[in-house]
Amino acid sequence: RHVTPKQVKKVMDGSINPFTNQPFTAQYKRILESRKKLPVYTQMEEFYRMFNKNQILIMVGETGSGKTTQIPQFVCYTDLPHTKGKLVCCTQPRRVAAMSVAKRVADEMDVPLGKEVGYSIRFEDMTEPGTTFLKYMTDGVLLREAMNDPNLTRYSTIILDEAHERTLATDILMGLLKNLARRRTDLKIIVMSATLDALKFQKYFSLKQGKPAPLFKVPGRTYPVEVFYTREPQLDYVEAAMRTVLMIHRTEDPGDILLFLTGEEEIEDACRKIQAEADDLQKQDPGSIGPLACIPLYSSLPPSQQQRIFDPPPSSRSVISPPGRKVVVSTNIAETSLTIDGIVYVIDSGFSKQKLYNPRMRVESLLVSPISKASAQQRAGRAGRTRPGKCYRLYTEHVFMTELEEQTHPEILRSNLANTVLELAKLGIKDLVRFDYVDAPAPETLMRALELLNYLSALDDECNMTPLGAIMAEFPLEPQMAKMLIVSPKFNCSNEILTIVAMLSVPNIWNRPIFMRREADSAKRSLEVPEGDHLTLLNVYNCYVQNIHNKRWAWDNFLSQRSLLQANNIRAQLKRYMEKFDIGLISTRDEIQLYVNIRQALVCGFFMQVAHKGAGEVAYVTVKVPEVVSLHPSCGLSGESEWVLFDEFVLTGGAYVRTVTAVKPEWLLEFAPKYYDINSFPNGKMKNALLQVQKNMRTPSLSIGAKKKKNKSKNK
Ligand code: ADP
Ligand code: MG
């Protein structure tokens, strides 16, 4: 009854695309030949045998074996989702991976991206309803879909990919799908992972009799990788990484290099320097040193730039010159999510940016932290895909053995759960403690999430979702941001808050080139609004829109054209959400009043992110959970403001608050009375300051009341 592997292979090798009825192109045939060499492809029979027999399948296979690109296609060939109006989806923890893989698979299936094969990530949907039957998407987007359709009826097969990454959304999805599988016996589920630690998932998804879920294992085919450590600890891993790249380029055989660093700025900087030095070397000695192309890879890179990592290395410039070399400088996206062919040398800095949550301080931050042993092994493995390779670890063997953790902790143990709790509440899951987690979060973290949602009035005191909470859950935004946006019409500034939310949702807009720092800073100053950075963001956006036809405007003002464009796009999408929930777009004419209104609306969302500086003090202290913080150097707030509200808490070389706006303490008491219940503050300067404010607020009304009483008594 099932489609047989033989039939599938025959169709794949045929001349007509069964999904479009168009003849296959030459490109299709070329790619098909390379696909046939992938370990997953050679296991097609085994896959179909297990897929047809089981509702839930756990799959493991080495990175690069073809899981992400091939398995969803195999499923389509047997599931035939397009014939029954269904979809097959495959989740990815990372946006870049979802986009890049969808593009690749569209090519492999010989269809345009966004038609039969598409992707969906937050704020960007590249699918066509009715046409798309294979959808790559971030795990977060599928989780949001589950909120409105708990049975996920539109899917016939759901593939959770990169499960070993243990992202928050994937973990929650595993819990939901485990439950859903009982209700929807027609739904097929595949959980794919790159590490051999699949037993955890097998046990989690165990069958009725307690037997572990079936495992489909694709044998890896990797070559030995020689691992080198540094003799001494490196003070500056970026510097050490650059030296290592150039050393390999000068002395090692042909083969591309993959360098793992931690973030956009660091990567761009390293690329520039490596490129300059390599160009110099080559100029000096073109006979023995080939050309080098240094290519960055990080999540905020635009899609066209992301594709560059798959370009072939530069060709040598003359017959006497050695072949060229490609260096990809990447965040840990390239650890398991994307595979770049031709990598022979891996340089592992030993660090990555990781999310950390401190429930006491209620802050989540991205911190450059040491990776785990499992990550280090994955990184090394990238060097041995096509032939024996080398991995240079920029740390000592002693550090590897004694200081690195075995595994990276699952994200659910390192995150602020406010958003997740709200999503679960929307799904009707109230008993968060008894939810079937793969790894249960710390009770304190759950408590903090419930508390935050209660302060934001998304949940009532019995943890029931309020009507406001139900709307908040629909917005693809953090709860504070959603709350602020939803209440902003009351302050006659929803038009502006919408802009601010969009601007807060994009990567850094300020360019600050090394050699033009002064010019960049002065351009920034001319755009700044003295009352605060949120208003500055609004001003930048408005100026950008006014100058939208002037292509040089962003460049001249040292602003990121890409981020501004993205903000514009996000704004348009959020506007549609506002229309859907009938939230009016309102503005205030008078600019002074408008700025006051905006700052008041900010308080409604971010009242928990406020810091206070007493008279004569130098440092700010955060409210309720006292922590000494400084204003980030990028902050444009002028003058001494006693109370400030901030968007972000950053811990790099000290505790800083970033994107800061001055607020009035009266607003805190008025718009967040529950949180600013003065009795809940410990005795001290902050409490005294608030008491004083409260007294001043009350005095006028009290005196009126007193007068009235007097009058009354007189009348008697
Ligand atoms: P896995 O999911 O098992 O890690 P993938 O399915 O992602 O493996 O990759 C299989 C192969 O497809 C790899 O050899 C990879 O290089 C290739 N590939 C994936 N995306 C692209 C692309 N955009 N361009 C060229 N090759 C690609
Ligand atoms: Mg993959």
Ligand nearest to the CA of 311: 1
Specify the pLDDT at position 704: 47
Average pLDDT over residues 414-438: 89
For ligand 1, atom 27, name the residue with the nearest CA. 104
Residues 628-638: tens digit of each pLDDT: 999 999 999 87
Q: How far is the CA of 310 from the centre of ligand 1 (A)?
A: 10
Ligand nearest to the CA of 35: 1
349 lines ligand 1 (CB under 6 A): no
Q: How far is the CA of 122 from the centre of ligand 1 (A)?
A: 23
Q: How confident is the model at residue 716 (pLDDT cuts 50, 70, 90)?
A: very low
Residues 351-395: tens digit of each pLDDT: 999 988 877 767 777 889 999 999 999 999 999 988 999 999 999
Q: Tell me the best of 32, 36, 69, 160 to mutate to test the pocket of ligand 1, counting ligand atoms within 8 Å of each CB and taking the most.
A: 69
262 lines ligand 1 (CB under 6 A): no
91 lines ligand 1 (CB under 6 A): no
Helix (H) or strand (E) holding 190: strand 188-193
Ligand nearest to the CA of 337: 2
| pTM attached to this predicted model | 0.88
Atom of ligand 1 nearest to the CA of 40: 3
Q: How confident is the model at residue 77 (pLDDT cuts 50, 70, 90)?
A: very high
Q: How far is the CA of 286 from the centre of ligand 1 (A)?
A: 33
Q: Tell me the best of 31, 104, 119, 338 to mutate to test the pocket of ligand 1, counting ligand atoms within 8 Å of each CB and taking the most.
A: 104
Does residue 37 have a pLDDT over 60? Answer: yes
For the chain, the first-to-last Cα distance in angstroms comes to 96
Does residue 706 have a pLDDT over 60? Answer: no
Task: Round the CA-based radius of gyration of the chain to a whole number and report it.
Answer: 28
Does residue 247 have a pLDDT over 60? Answer: yes
43 lines ligand 1 (CB under 6 A): no
Contacts 24+ apart (CB under 8 A), 516-519: 516/558, 519/558
**DSSP assignment letter at 253:** P
62 vs 431: CA distance, rounded Å: 37
For ligand 1, atom 10, name the residue with the nearest CA. 66
Q: How far is the CA of 38 from the centre of ligand 2 (A)?
A: 12
Across 65-79, 459-473, 694-708, least confident range: 694-708
Q: How far is the CA of 587 from the centre of ligand 2 (A)?
A: 47
Specify the pLDDT at position 358: 78
Atom of ligand 1 nearest to the CA of 307: 23
61 lines ligand 1 (CB under 6 A): yes
Is 94 in a helix, a strand, or coil?
A: coil
64 lines ligand 1 (CB under 6 A): yes
Q: How confident is the model at residue 711 (pLDDT cuts 50, 70, 90)?
A: very low
310 lines ligand 1 (CB under 6 A): yes
Q: How confident is the model at residue 438 (pLDDT cuts 50, 70, 90)?
A: very high
69 lines ligand 1 (CB under 6 A): yes
65 lines ligand 1 (CB under 6 A): yes
622 lines ligand 1 (CB under 6 A): no
92 lines ligand 1 (CB under 6 A): no
Does residue 608 have a pLDDT over 60? Answer: yes
Crossing angle of helices 533-546/561-580, nearest 10°? 100
Ligand nearest to the CA of 104: 1
Specify the pLDDT at position 348: 98
Q: How confident is the model at residue 580 (pLDDT cuts 50, 70, 90)?
A: very high
Does residue 714 have a pLDDT over 70? Answer: no
Q: How confident is the model at residue 196 (pLDDT cuts 50, 70, 90)?
A: low
In the chain, pLDDT over 70 holds for what percent of residues?
97
Mean pLDDT for the chain? Answer: 92
Residues 294-353: tens digit of each pLDDT: 999 998 888 888 889 999 999 887 777 788 999 999 999 999 899 998 999 999 999 999
Alpha helices for 285-347 (secondary structure H): 303-306, 333-336
Q: How far is the CA of 104 from the centre of ligand 1 (A)?
A: 8
Average pLDDT over residues 563-578: 94
Is 48 in a helix, a strand, or coil?
A: helix
Atom of ligand 1 nearest to the CA of 218: 3
342 lines ligand 1 (CB under 6 A): no
Q: How far is the CA of 101 from the centre of ligand 1 (A)?
A: 7
479 lines ligand 1 (CB under 6 A): no
Does residue 100 have a pLDDT over 50? Answer: yes
Q: How confident is the model at residue 700 (pLDDT cuts 50, 70, 90)?
A: low
Q: How far is the CA of 128 from the centre of ligand 2 (A)?
A: 24
337 lines ligand 1 (CB under 6 A): no
Helix (H) or strand (E) holding 576: helix 561-580
Is 590 in a helix, a strand, or coil?
A: coil
For ligand 1, atom 21, name the residue with the nearest CA. 104
Average pLDDT over residues 665-687: 93
Place of tokens 């929307």: 426
Residue 3 is encoded by which pair of tokens? 């489609």
How many CA atoms, within 13 angstroms, populate the side-chain half-sphere of residue 510?
Answer: 24
C-alpha of 225 from chain center = 31
How many CA atoms, within 13 angstroms, populate the side-chain half-sphere of residue 304?
Answer: 1
